[in-house]
Amino acid sequence: MRLEALLYFYGRRLRTQPVQELLAGLGIAIGVALTFAVLVANSSVAGSAEQVARSVVGTADLQVAARGARGLDEQLLAGVRATPGVVHAAPLLEQRAVLRGPGGRSTPVNLVGIDREMAAFSGRLAGTFVAGGLLGVDGIVLPLASAQVLGIGRDHDAIVRDPARVDVEVAGRSVPTTVAATLGREAAGPLAEALVAIVPLERAQRMTGLEGRVSRVIVETAPGREEAVREHLESLADDRFDVTAADAESALLRQALGPGDQATSFFAAISALLGFLLAFNAMLLTSPERRRLIAELRMQGFRARQLVVLVLFQAGVLGLVSSAVGVLGGSVLARGVFDDSPDYLSPPFTLGTGTLVGPLPVIGALVAGMLACALASAPPLLDLRRGRAVDAALRSPGVPGNALTSRTRRRMLWTALGLTAVAGALLAFAPEIALLASGLLAIATVLLIPSTFAAVLTAAEWVVERAPGLGLVTVALFALRATTLRSLALAATGGVAVFGSVTIGGARDDLLRGIANYADDYVTTADLWIVNPADNQGTSEIRRPGIVERVAAVDGVREARPFQGSFLDAHGRRLWVIARPSEDPSLVPRSQLVDGDLEQTERRLRDGGWVVLSDQLAEQTGTGPGGRFALPTPSGGVSLRVAATTTNLGWAPGTVIVGRDDFARLWGSDAPTSVEVSLEPGADLLDTRAAVERAIGADSGLQVLTAAERIEIINASARQGLDRLDQIATLLLVAAVLAMAAAMSAAIWQRRVAIAALRIQSFTPRQLWALLLIESGVVLAAGCLTGAVLGLLGQVGADRYLRVATGFPVSAVPASWQTVEAFTIVVAAALAVVAIPGWFASRADPSLGLQE
Amino acid sequence: MTAARLELRDAVKHYRSGDEVVRAVDGVSMTADPGEMVALYGPSGSGKSTLLLLAAGLLRPDAGTIRFGTRDVTAMSDAEAADYQRREVGFVSQSFHLLPGVPAVENAAVKLIADRVPLRAARRAATEWLERVGLGGRLHHTPEQLSGGERQRVAIARALANGPSLLLTDEPTGSLDSARGAEVLALLAQLGHEQGAAVLMVTHDPRAADVADRVLTLRDGRVVTETTAPTTAGPPAPARR
């Protein structure tokens, strides 16, 4: 068919059905926008962190990294530089800190100490900081992102003429300093988006109490010498340090993000399915007209292939335009809504805050949108099947193009049941692909809706047969029988929205509940906690000699216990190592135990030589209770026996609990990372807290938190980390409600002639309005009910994935309030919106009913 | 059902279409007695359908009065008009307006259902009427399974199921072939007489004159001829006003 003819037919369609075309495009655009935004947001966290890492290390290809917060002796640097094949080597000291700016604003940052050797690596950091002479200035240098959080941001690179004063709270001390410069994107590149603070190495060492120590030495090797250098450095490290690629951080971050990204990608896929249904729905509104057009064109001698080309061309144009709109909308969403990096990742990783849009997601989104549009447009092509009458569109029962045979319905039911059974089997036997099970359930939701809908209609008819005075419901049921496919598509849209919302929201709630349980067990061992700010996991050292003894001497304090912890890179992941004081009433959070005997486990941890691992870590390293686990520590590699397994305590890469004596020996440090304080019976909590704050000194920069406050901070951090799930669930509902309401409104508007005819048959406008609302209510209820029931199964799937495949603590409570809420929101909101065009349509001019 | 006379006196209904005023009904006076069938002839746009809607109380006239028996249709509130339409008026249109996919018996019962008649009773009454119009064997056929004439019979059964004393029909034979059209006309006349209902029929069908008791011809919103004697050869000749 000639392009001119294709354009003519499309133009005709646009002129005759502009609203339906707009609705179809809107559906595709919504699906593409949600999916695209999630994919971009996911890749941006890792991508921007990679850019930051690269702008620090520049051309370095290897690094020697310390295994603990105390770093490694900077004397090692000489040995590294002397290694044959090493072109350049420079030290870095990195410590977690909190900057407190004017007006009390604060932000956690990675405090980075560098020396002038960095200039040799040609990274952005080197170029601006070293070559720009900033090493010589007094104070710290902040990238724009950090400065703006503190309210001292400049919109250009500048040496600050009127230096703002900030306090650097690090390692149990608060160090007043000034901001010497802020670096914008032009000077610092991607580093401008990172929450870091840069100071000369020696000053960083003094600030942190780590004189003579560095965190890592980055190395640039001569071409072709990398392997030889690595081997030499490994012998130099003697299993006390790690020798890795200079950008190893990126791989570790990707590993940490993996489970969350998979979960959000799955939910994005549900959004895509929803978008497809919205488009399908909108296409159905015009199905009768399009079927008639195809029938007429066939009678005029058009060949089947030409008609396929015609339909695909129209779908392609609509798909391309609406996908492009979706990509634009998705970019806005990714930058405006999904732009927060998860807080819980910021202590162990240096994250960027930029949003990266690569070409692949854009191309993928455009192609997917066009494919979805082609699929949604396809049903009228079924009329081209051999043996089907040309005028099938005019002879089928009900509203033309809206019939669904009972045979088709039965097939859909059996397929849905089959998919549900497969999903059940996956949940039971292959939890690592449980998300796939949830995906199958989403499809089963759509397939089940015809049967649910028929069941609801039959049940409603049974009721109205026996209940006088429900005449309007009866008439509504008649109308619903006549517009089956359109009603089903609307019901499916609501069903998938509720399914997605229940699955996503339910899994999120279960995860939050699980983390709350863990936080409760983890924190309530003490009445008060002394911690570094923004250090939920308790991994930053408090280098304040005698602090535990001073606190123990405070009136009202029964006991002060040093708690230790650290992040450790091992087995391709950044592990969280926890070493609780032996005197603690509980060393392992009781609610998080997966496999093992609690009392025996705690006894073994206190005795030493034993370790408790998160379940998934144990499984992936091929060990379990009774087995052994290799732990690379700052004093060398050790092999500890596994006493029990737990959940991952909310830290996706995995957790390791060791006895405190073992930790102090293996990490070579007694410095606590937090202090647990138990009070004398009857001591006033707040008074004692004030006394403890005085005892540790106002210049400590430390926080003294009640157990309840610390629990709330941990829970808030978890909530922030799961914000994206919440946002997706909410957007899913909002998009579904709006699109359904729009489609229903258009359908109602199309029926004005039929409504006018009912007016002539003595139905009052009020009755007709009620009729339309009852119809819409039945459609929505049938769809949303199916979505809610299968959504609960989907929630089980998502929970099982999170618990078994990723090891997150999950406390599953199905059929929660959230399910009712999602159901009610979709039904009530869509009805509320539909009520307006329904009101106008119910007042249609009766003379419309006299027209042919 | 209460037998009553329909009476329009100087009924006026104007529409505004842009700057132009369309005089759809422009001072029409007419009556239809119980059991009488009155046919309304006229070209498109002559105001026939508007006249039907005025008689049904679905439109309010700009001037003049419309009475049905003792009731002043013009002065009725919306609720009273709805009650009037439900209890007294039956309406049959050219395009049937049956609910697609719904069996004949339920289509015929729909008006009773709207009037809160229990479903079983509504179905029973509809069944009786479908049998009277000759569709006793097609009660459970959907409109798609019925011929044009059968669909019109379902529409007639629906209009009569509530026992109206005023039957308004708009081109009831417009979609039918001549044989079916003649059957439907005869049926309407017969049922109107049997029920004692006043029948007002808008039509282009010249055979309507064979069965109608009176024929009014409308042009530009006015009655231009009135013939009381049935003729057999097309529309009546112009008569003295």
Say yes or no to pLDDT of A374 above 90: no
- Predicted confidence at residue A387, as pLDDT, reads 52
A471–chain B Cβ distance below 8 A for any pair: yes
The Cα of B58 is separated from the nearest Cα of chain A by a number of Å equal to 7
Q: How far apart are CA A153 and CA A166, in angstroms?
A: 13
Please check whether residue A57 is in contact with residue A304, taking contact to mean a CB–CB distance below 8 angstroms.
Answer: no
Tens-place pLDDT, residues B6-55:
999 999 998 877 778 888 899 999 999 998 999 998 888 888 888 988 99
Q: How far apart are CA B197 and CA B200, in angstroms?
A: 10
B144–chain A Cβ distance below 8 A for any pair: yes
Q: Please count the CA atoms within 13 angstroms of the CA of A226 that sit on its side-chain side.
A: 13
The Cα of A311 is separated from the nearest Cα of chain B by a number of Å equal to 28
B76–chain A Cβ distance below 8 A for any pair: no
Which residues are CB-neighbours of A583 under 8 A, at least 6 positions away?
A: A559, A561
Of A396, A472, A754, the CB nearest to B97: A754
- Predicted confidence at residue A325, as pLDDT, reads 93
Of A395, A474, A852, the CB nearest to B113: A474
Alpha carbon distance, N-terminus to C-terminus of chain B:
34
B147–chain A Cβ distance below 8 A for any pair: no
In a domain, B46, yes or no: yes
In a domain, B76, yes or no: yes
Say yes or no to pLDDT of A1 above 80: no
Q: Verify whether the Cβ–Cβ distance B89 to A474 is below 8 Å.
A: no
Question: What size, in residues, is chain A?
Answer: 852
Tens-place pLDDT, residues B112-160:
877 778 878 888 999 998 998 888 899 998 887 888 888 888 988 888 8
Q: Which residue has the higher pLDDT, A560 or A188?
A: A560
Q: Verify whether the Cβ–Cβ distance A847 to B50 is below 8 Å.
A: yes
Q: Please count the CA atoms within 13 angstroms of the CA of A187 that sit on its side-chain side.
A: 22
pLDDT band at A666 (very low <50, low <70, confident <90, very high): very high
- Predicted confidence at residue B233, as pLDDT, reads 42
A392–chain B Cβ distance below 8 A for any pair: no
Of A403, A475, A760, the CB nearest to B91: A760
Say yes or no to pLDDT of A238 above 60: yes
Q: Find, among A62, A59, A57, the residue nearest to A233 by Cα.
A: A62
Total number of domains constituting chain B: 1
Tens-place pLDDT, residues A20-48:
778 778 878 887 887 788 778 777 777 77
Q: What is the mean pLDDT of residues A252-257?
A: 83
pLDDT band at B216 (very low <50, low <70, confident <90, very high): very high
Of B86, B97, B106, the CB nearest to A757: B97
Q: CA-nearest residue of chain A to B119?
A: A465
Q: How far apart are CA A299 and CA A93, in angstroms?
A: 80
Q: Verify whether the Cβ–Cβ distance B113 to A397 is below 8 Å.
A: no
Which residues are CB-neighbours of A591 under 8 A, at least 6 positions away?
A: A517, A518, A520, A521, A809
Looking up residue B152, the CATH number of its domain turns out to be 3.40.50.300
Hey, is B21 helix, strand or coil?
Answer: strand
A211–chain B Cβ distance below 8 A for any pair: no
Q: How far apart are CA B98 and CA B147, in angstroms?
A: 13
Please check whether residue B234 is in contact with residue B209, taking contact to mean a CB–CB distance below 8 angstroms.
Answer: yes
User: Per residue in A730-757, is it b (16+ CB within 10 Å) or e — as a string?
Assistant: ebbbebbbbbbbbbbbbbbbbbbebbbb
CA dihedral A676, A680, A686, A692 (to 10 degrees): -50
Dihedral angle sign, alpha carbons of residues A73, A78, A84, A85: positive
Distances in whole angstroms, Cα of residue B213 to Cα of each of A300, A503, B119 = 48, 70, 37
B95–chain A Cβ distance below 8 A for any pair: yes
Q: How far apart are CA A835 and CA A455, in angstroms?
A: 25
Q: Verify whether the Cβ–Cβ distance A852 to B120 is below 8 Å.
A: no
- Predicted confidence at residue A460, as pLDDT, reads 85
Which of A210-219, A334-343, A740-749 reaches the highest mean pLDDT? A210-219
Say yes or no to pLDDT of B236 above 50: no
Of B107, B142, B170, the CB nearest to A850: B170
Region label for A402, one of left (φ > 0), alpha (ψ between -120 and 50) or beta (otherwise): alpha
Q: Which residue has the higher pLDDT, A679 or A474?
A: A679
When scoring B17, B25, B91 by the number of chain A Cβ atoms within 10 A, the one with the most, hence best to mutate, is B91
B15–chain A Cβ distance below 8 A for any pair: no
The Cα of A467 is separated from the nearest Cα of chain B by a number of Å equal to 8
The pLDDT > 90 percentage for chain A reads 28
Residue-by-residue DSSP string for A219-285:
EEEPTT-HHHHHHHHHHHHTTSSEEEETTHHHHHHHHHHHHHHHHHHHHHHHHHHHHHHHHHHHHHH
Tens-place pLDDT, residues A396-455:
545 555 566 778 889 999 999 999 999 989 888 887 777 788 778 888 988 898 888 888
Of A397, A465, A475, the CB nearest to B142: A397
- Predicted confidence at residue A658, as pLDDT, reads 96
pLDDT band at A824 (very low <50, low <70, confident <90, very high): confident
Q: Verify whether the Cβ–Cβ distance B78 to A481 is below 8 Å.
A: no
- The first and second tokens of residue A402, run together, are 């809206």
Q: Which residue has the higher pLDDT, A274 or B91?
A: B91
Please check whether residue A198 is in contact with residue A141, taking contact to mean a CB–CB distance below 8 angstroms.
Answer: yes
Please check whether residue A535 is in contact with residue A95, taking contact to mean a CB–CB distance below 8 angstroms.
Answer: no
Tokens 């112009």, residue located: B238
CA geometry: angle at A548 spanning A543 and A553, to 5°?
A: 145
Q: Find, among A110, A114, A112, A105, the residue nearest to A165 by Cα.
A: A105
Predicted TM-score (pTM) of this structure: 0.75
A417–chain B Cβ distance below 8 A for any pair: no
Q: Find, among A788, A736, A746, A734, the residue nearest to A273 by Cα.
A: A736
pLDDT band at A137 (very low <50, low <70, confident <90, very high): low
B120–chain A Cβ distance below 8 A for any pair: yes
In a domain, B1, yes or no: no
pLDDT band at B235 (very low <50, low <70, confident <90, very high): very low
User: Per residue in A381-390, is it b (16+ CB within 10 Å) or e — as a string?
Assistant: bebbeeeeee
Residue-by-residue DSSP string for A659-692:
EHHHHHHHHT----SEEEEEEPTT--HHHHHHHH
In this structure, of A81-85, A506-510, A551-555, A622-626, the range with the lowest mean pLDDT score is: A506-510
* Alpha helices (runs of H) in chain B, residue ranges in sequence order: 48-55, 78-88, 104-114, 119-132, 148-160, 178-195, 208-211
Which of A336-350, A701-715, B183-197 reaches the highest mean pLDDT? A701-715
- Predicted confidence at residue A64, as pLDDT, reads 93
- Predicted confidence at residue A378, as pLDDT, reads 80
Domain housing B164: 6-100+147-227
* DSSP H or E segment with residue A643: strand A636-646
Give contacts of B162 with chain A, Cβ < 8 Å. 762
Say yes or no to pLDDT of A575 above 90: yes
Please check whether residue A484 is in contact with residue A258, taking contact to mean a CB–CB distance below 8 angstroms.
Answer: no
B89 burial (CB, 10 Å; 0-12 / 13-18 / 19+) is buried
Tens-place pLDDT, residues A86-102:
998 999 999 989 999 88
- Predicted confidence at residue A609, as pLDDT, reads 95
Q: How far apart are CA A278 and CA A26, in angstroms?
A: 8
Tokens 């104007």, residue located: B14
Interface predicted TM-score (ipTM): 0.72
Q: What is the mean pLDDT of residues A705-729?
A: 85
- The first and second tokens of residue A181, run together, are 């410069």
B50–chain A Cβ distance below 8 A for any pair: yes
Q: Which residue has the higher pLDDT, A352 or B135?
A: B135
- Predicted confidence at residue A366, as pLDDT, reads 86
Say yes or no to pLDDT of B101 above 80: no
Q: Verify whether the Cβ–Cβ distance A471 to B116 is below 8 Å.
A: yes
When scoring B13, B85, B160, B176 by the number of chain A Cβ atoms within 10 A, the one with the most, hence best to mutate, is B85
Q: Verify whether the Cβ–Cβ distance A471 to B93 is below 8 Å.
A: no
Q: Which residue has the higher pLDDT, A654 or A736?
A: A654
Question: In this structure, which amino acid lies at residue A400?
Answer: P
- How many residue pairs bridge chain A and chain B with CB atoms within 8 Å of each other? 104
Tens-place pLDDT, residues A256-296:
887 777 777 777 777 777 667 766 766 766 666 777 777 76
Q: How far apart are CA A513 and CA A89, in angstroms?
A: 47
* DSSP H or E segment with residue A549: helix A547-552
Give contacts of B79 with chain A, Cβ < 8 Å. 764
Question: In this structure, which amino acid lies at residue B92?
Answer: V
pLDDT band at B237 (very low <50, low <70, confident <90, very high): very low
Q: How far apart are CA A491 and CA A277, in angstroms?
A: 10
Give contacts of A767 with chain B, Cβ < 8 Å. 114
What is the pLDDT of chain A when averaged over all its residues? 83
User: Per residue in A574-602, is it b (16+ CB within 10 Å) or e — as a string?
Assistant: bbbbbbbbeebeebbbebbbbebeeeebb
In this structure, of A164-178, A345-359, A453-467, B112-126, the range with the lowest mean pLDDT score is: A345-359
Q: How far apart are CA A138 and CA A171, in angstroms?
A: 21
pLDDT band at A544 (very low <50, low <70, confident <90, very high): confident
Where do the structural domains in chain A lie, given as residue ranges? 1-58+258-403, 60-245, 407-517+725-852, 534-701
Q: Verify whether the Cβ–Cβ distance A762 to B114 is below 8 Å.
A: yes
Q: CA-nearest residue of chain B to A469?
A: B116
Q: What is the mean pLDDT of residues A607-625?
A: 93
- The first and second tokens of residue A11, run together, are 């133009």
Q: What is the mean pLDDT of residues B56-68?
A: 90
Which residues are CB-neighbours of A288 under 8 A, at least 6 positions away?
A: A393, A399, A400, A401, A402
Q: How far apart are CA A241 and CA A243, in angstroms?
A: 7
A223 burial (CB, 10 Å; 0-12 / 13-18 / 19+) is exposed
- The first and second tokens of residue A576, run together, are 């969280």
- The first and second tokens of residue A458, run together, are 């039959």
- The first and second tokens of residue B146, run together, are 């019925």
Q: How far apart are CA A354 and CA A155, in angstroms?
A: 16
pLDDT band at A162 (very low <50, low <70, confident <90, very high): low
Tens-place pLDDT, residues A375-402:
878 877 777 765 554 444 444 545 555 5
